[in-house]
A = this chain, B = another copy of it.
C-alpha cells in the first residue's frame, strides 16, 4: 500500500492554500534540497471544499516553464497563460470564430466558448514525460540549449505526444535530447504542477549502451555521481523534486514510486525552482 505523506517547504509557518486538511493533528516536515519524511497520513480532501481551495489561485498568471524547442517556445508560452484557471484560447478551433470566456450553462468553470458556432474548446493539463537514467551509479543529465531555462541542467523530458504512451514518449525524448537508447524499468514519479497545468511522469531507465551525445536541444550531456548533481543550476522544480526523492530512495535501499503535487509558494518568483511545497506526497 502506498503511504501518503505531506511535505511542506522551508518557509516556516507556510500552509498550502490549495489543500486544507481537516485532520486536527496534521504534522508538517521541511523540504529543502533533500526532503525529510516524518509524517504518514492519507490525503483527505472534502470535495465540497474544492471550489474554495481553487479560488486562492485565481489571480495567478503564469507562463509555461517547459517547451520543446525554441521554435515552439513562443506558442507554448502563449497558449499556457493561465487566467482564472483556464488558458487563453482566443479563437474557435472548429470554425475560426472569436471566443468569449464565460461559464457555460450547466457548468461551473470559465470556458472558451465560440461566439459564432457556440462550441466550447476545452483545455486540459499536459503531460511531460522523461527518464531518470542510471548508469554505473551515475545519472545522465542534459544542459539545455533552448529557452526556457537555457544553460541549466535537466533530466531528458518533454511533452507526451498524441499516439504514444508515456513510456514511449520518455524514450523518444531521451533519444532526441541525449541521443541515448534506453530501456524503461519502472515509473518512478508522477508530479502534478497545477499552477502551470502540467504533470511530470519520470521513468527509471537504463542505457542500452554507453553511447550518448547532445541532441539539438542540448549543449552538453553528462553522467553525474549523486554527490555531483548540479543542484545549483537545475532547470525545473520537477527535476529538483525527482532527484531529491531518488537520492533519498537510494540512501534507504531502492527507488520507490512517488506521487506528489508541486505547488509554488504564494508570493515567490515563478522562476525560483526552490520556492515550492511538495504536497500530498504518496510513495510505494
Contact of A47 among B98, B120, B182, B199 (CB under 8 A): B182
User: Does chain B have a CB within 8 A of A218?
Assistant: no
Residues from chain B with Cβ under 8 Å of A19 in the complex: 168
Interface of A is mostly: mixed
Residues from chain B with Cβ under 8 Å of A119 in the complex: 74-75, 78
CB-nearest residue of chain B to A186: B2
Q: How many residues of A contact B (CB 8 A)?
A: 92
Contact of A162 among B106, B167, B197 (CB under 8 A): B197
Residues from chain B with Cβ under 8 Å of A3 in the complex: 186
CB-nearest residue of chain B to A116: B96
Q: For window 168-227 of chain A, which residues contact chain B by CB distance below 8 Å? A: 168, 171-172, 174-175, 180-187, 190, 192, 194-195, 197, 199, 201, 204, 206, 208
The answer to whether B162 touches A54, judged by C-beta atoms less than 8 angstroms apart, is no
- 0/1 string, A65-104, CB within 8 A of B gives 1: 0000101101110110010011101111111111000001
The answer to whether B163 touches A280, judged by C-beta atoms less than 8 angstroms apart, is no
Residues from chain B with Cβ under 8 Å of A95 in the complex: 90-91
Residues from chain B with Cβ under 8 Å of A255 in the complex: 1
